Amino acid sequence: MVATAAQAAEESDVYTLGELQVTAKSRAGEAIGGSVVTGDTLQTYNRQTVEQALALIPGTNASNTGGSRNERLVYVRGFDRFQTTLSIDGVRVFLPADNRIDFARFLTADLAEIQVSKGYVSVLDGPGGLGGAINLVTVKPTRAFEGEIQGASFLNRNASDEGYLASGRVGGRRGAFYWQASGAYTDRDHFTLSKTFKPTALENGGERGNSQSNDWRINLKAGWQPNDTDEYSINYTKSEGEKNAPYSVRDTANTRFWSWPYWDLESVAFLSRTRLTDDLTLKTRLYYNSFDNLLSAFDTAAQTTQTLPRAFNSFYNDHAKGGNVELDWAINDTSQLKGVFYARQDVHHERQMGFTRTPATGNPSANVPYSEPQQTNDEYTYSVAGEYTTALSEALELVVGASYDWTDLKTANDVNVVVTGTTIANSVISFLPVNYPLKNNQAFNGQAALLWRMSDDTRAHANVSSRARFPTVFERFSSRMGAAIPNPDVKEERATSFEVGADTNLTPGVKLTGAVFYSDLKNALIQIPVLVPGFGTVNQTKNAADGEYYGAEASLAAQVTDTIDMGGNLTYMHRKLTDPTNAAFRPLGVPTWKAFAYLNWRPAPKLTIRPNVEYADQRWTVTTTAPLAYYKTGSYLLVNLAADFEVTDNLTATLAAQNIGDQDYQLTDGFPEAGRSFYVSLRAKF
């Protein structure tokens, strides 16, 4: 079900120009660690968004921020979304202000594969990648004219409509030229809670309040492949999203009534590969990305008025431009050297419209509207990296890599809103400019890996990687709505990761893969209480935490008979992260044990029945009411069932049931997940 990177690359419809060297590879392109899940597998198990796909991959899991943002998160061997990079066809997705990527906004319907590296992220991929990297690779046409369309409906436990999905792809290849247009659209009116959910004053059960979302994306591609070694492509990707955020089912005092009228990404990129000589290959990737976002906060849960100081409209208008140039040198039959220069400019513009209270004591109705001037952050990030691969013997290969990353902060400004006067009529709004110190960061990274071909059926590997991650604008400069003070001096955090693993074909049709891993995390960025004279205690981001993450993972795939195949994966994960100011602090969002198992049974030539189960035990979460209390959520076991029927050679109908047991469970405090649901789809290829 989950292939190695080398196996996935053999898929004829994979857009290989958009693949990343997210982990170490042998000279033959074999991945040393890491996982790939194919687009067909995503379809088979009804994984419409990126975070849903991670249940299929050992060492990864999804979670939920909860709170007013209620975003879907990913963790790779315990490392969160800030420490794990995301790319689309090799082009980095980075939100310049805070990089708070909501992985539920990224649809999978037109993907050929998802590449995931764990622990070891090649330095050739650029800065970041402290603990992992995710790359979404689209499809490339292989025939003169081809395509597919899909329509799906989401239903609750009573078979009532919850939403729908439509996707399609059309493209072609004529001689050296190819083109493609693909897209996906999903509209979720709501999701439905389990029947066993106990209603509260904030949530009466049934349809989850404020859980609606709407997303669409298109991908356009035109390329020229004049020979077997050279390729040139222009890609355009645009996605738009609109979402609400369910409220906590328990916490009234801290509920914030937030929604996102738009959450949009756009990218245009040029990718190329040119064989300069028999020994030298040049690769380039140039891109321009934009990100537009509106966060609207309201007075009440009805989300109809904005008059109180808690209400505002916060506008982000960001863009990034950059790329990388890579030169690959085949030194001889046993060695190769790769060098990369990477550069990116991130520009963040923000402004806020809201209400502030006049200084008049006891006059809560005197709320003065204001509209901030635009504030800007402008920063450049660079990296120079090299990677050397050589055969130590016929069975043993060595990969070593190193990079130097640095930043150049050009602009970092903000404003403070000041109001004078005692009534709305005589109030005067002024904006005091704030210019932060222009502090830069730098970091060295190093890594090495060994690949041992023990036999034709068995490979083993070992690797070590030390990578750094620079703080975001948000971590350095955000006041977090008055709850924090900036810290321009905050530095990079670092993780040193070790892994030993192997994969083997036990018998024909039976493959076993496993790894053990350990990461040492230093200078981790966390919020620390700071006493400010005359103001009180607020938080500040500091390099104050240290930790260790370790565990093991294994996966098995077996062809039992001509009509039955089965498999699954199992992950054990332990995380310890120390906050020197809070002995009760625990890292959130990752279960100690996670498992996925599946069976595919073909009782008739055109019918496939696919039962599968997902299990995760308890994970740490924290209450939102003071005093904060850390506790473990309950474990869950989700039983799912799907049946595929081939109506014709090119038309497949699917009926699926998820969470058949209608289990009531949560991933974070106060935010229950969906109960039993159904999925019906038709997929046609031509």
Nearest alpha-carbon partner for 25 in 140, 115, 131: 115
**Across 42-46, 127-131, 244-248, 363-367, least confident range:** 363-367
Tokens of 287: 């891109």
Q: What is the mean pLDDT of residues 507-518?
A: 95
Residue 410 vs residues 291, 315, 375, 380, 639: alpha-carbon distances, Å: 20, 21, 13, 8, 52
Residue 438: what residue type?
A: L
* Bridge pairing between strands 84-88 and 132-138: parallel
pLDDT digits (tens, 9 = 90+) for 514-560: 999 999 999 999 999 888 777 778 889 999 999 999 999 999 999 99
Q: Supply the pLDDT for residue 277.
A: 97
Q: For residue 5, give the 3-state DSSP assignment.
A: helix
Quote the CA–CA distance of 380 and 80 in Å, as a whole number. Answer: 23
Mean pLDDT on 88-96: 94
pLDDT of residue 5: 37
Who's near 290: CB < 8 A, 6+ residues apart? 264, 265, 266, 267, 318, 319, 320
- Mean pLDDT confidence for 634-658: 96
Distance of CA 587 to the CA centre of its chain: 18
In the predicted model, what is the mean pLDDT of the chain? 92
Task: Write down the pLDDT at residue 603.
Answer: 97
pLDDT digits (tens, 9 = 90+) for 156-180: 999 999 999 999 999 999 999 999 9
Confidence tier at 188 by pLDDT (50, 70, 90)? very high
Q: Counting runs of H as helices and runs of E as strands, what totals does the chain give?
A: 4, 36
Rg of the chain over Cα atoms, rounded to whole angstroms, equals 25
Of residues 368, 367, 374, the one with CA closest to residue 352: 374
> Model confidence over 333-353: pLDDT tens digits?
999 999 999 999 999 999 999
**pLDDT > 90? residue 4:** no
**Where are any strands of DSSP class E within 493-626?**
493-507, 510-532, 536-559, 564-578, 593-604, 607-616, 620-622
- Rounded to 5 degrees, φ, ψ at 476 are -85, -40
More confident residue, 350 or 69: 350
For the segment 218-227, what is each residue's pLDDT rounded down to a tens digit?
999 999 999 9
Instruction: Kindly list the structural domains of the chain, giving each domain's residue range(s) and its CATH number in brackets, ordered by start.
Output: 2-685 (2.40.170.20)
Has residue 252 got a pLDDT over 90?
no
Residue pLDDT, tens place only, 363-409:
555 688 899 999 999 999 999 999 999 999 999 999 999 999 999 99
Residue 534's pLDDT is what?
Answer: 72
pLDDT value of residue 26: 62
Which pLDDT score, from 0 to 100, does residue 650 have? 95
- Kindly indicate the confidence band of residue 12, based on its pLDDT and cuts at 50, 70 and 90: low
Res 366: pLDDT: 65
* Residue 180, beta-bridge partner list: 171, 221
**Which residues have C-beta within 8 Å of that of residue 219, sequence separation ≥ 6?**
110, 138, 180, 181, 182, 183, 235, 236, 237
Q: What is the pLDDT of residues 408-418, one digit of tens each?
A: 999 999 998 88
d(CA 517, CA 462): 10
Predicted confidence at residue 365, as pLDDT, reads: 57
d(CA 96, CA 104): 19
Half-sphere exposure of 393 (CA within 13 A, CB side): 7
User: Please, which residues have CB within 8 angstroms of residue 306's CB and are 6 or more apart in sequence?
Assistant: 296, 297, 298, 299, 312, 313, 354, 355
Q: Which tens digits make up the pLDDT trace of 302-314?
A: 999 999 989 999 9
pLDDT digits (tens, 9 = 90+) for 459-471: 999 999 999 999 9
